[in-house]
Structure 1
């Protein structure tokens, strides 16, 4: 595991961390879980719970996080929206990349909550209501796509739609193409910040008549 919290920055003020995890104290458990998964995968991570230790300057740490991290992971919940400092952190990341071309803002919802304002335009991921393995897969896939700028094209051809269409009595709809454990609305690629499209959402389960 890397020492994600190293505070020694380059003289030119460049990137020190791959990800800055922005959260409110109500979601500390989620933030630490996210930070652990990212560091375990080899990324450099700055997170308040581990890196803003006694004697350090909290305001400077927050400023370093938004300035010297390549990307910000916003841990979204109802409490996060009410946090003044959380809002300042995600807005700083968004302002640095408003069109999502560099994918500097990753939005990870940890509960079913609305996404007001410009956050509704950033493609995000849901890591709640999943198993731990599923949540980890979704998180790391989003991190990889954000850093590489790659598409979310699956490694194997998708099935022929006529072979997978629901029966006449089936109800429900997926609401988007399925890629792994998440679906992208309107055919957009998973994990990509397009700036003007809605968030990634979990498809509804289709059920046939009994």
Structure 2
């Protein structure tokens, strides 16, 4: 698996921004690795932000450089101010977004109108839906 999924991939590779609550870090890392080994250039804040970096500036920059967003949905995601700020920016920019449910939760906002990949049941089935 790709250890540092925030590395630059060749220009032809789509860049994916992973939006998640930090309580769901393990799932975000699993999804990032899953996409990384399949050739996607994945941006995830934990790997891409050095100490002292401005979160707001770095996230705005990463979103502007991304082609697609994966929203890692859980109760924690919908409680996270950062995750909600990021998804609002995605909606405003009209970026493509793939919601991925990792834990049963009430889906809110514009994400409730989208079909999502359901990873709550079995991982093999989940991999097929990604």
- Please state which band the TM-score falls in when normalised by the shorter chain: 0.7 to 0.9
In 2: Cα distance, 1:96 partner to 1:54 partner: 28
**1:91 aligned to which of 88, 93, 107:** 88
Q: Provide TM-score, normalisation by structure 2.
A: 0.84
Going from structure 1 to structure 2, the CA distance change for 1:2 and 1:88 (only over 3 Å counts) comes to same
**Corresponding residue for 1:108?**
100
How far the C-alpha of 1:109 sits from its partner, in A, is 0.7
CA contact (8 A) 2:117 2:126 kept: no
Query: Gaps (5+ residues) in structure 2?
Result: none
Pair 1:69-2:69 in alignment = no
How far the C-alpha of 1:136 sits from its partner, in A, is 2.1
- Report the aligned-residue RMSD: 2.5
Higher relative CO (CA 8 A, sep ≥ 6), structure 1 or 2?
Answer: 2
Task: Please show how residues 14-29 of structure 1 align to structure 2 within 5 Å.
Answer: 18-29=15-26
Q: Provide TM-score, normalisation by structure 1.
A: 0.54
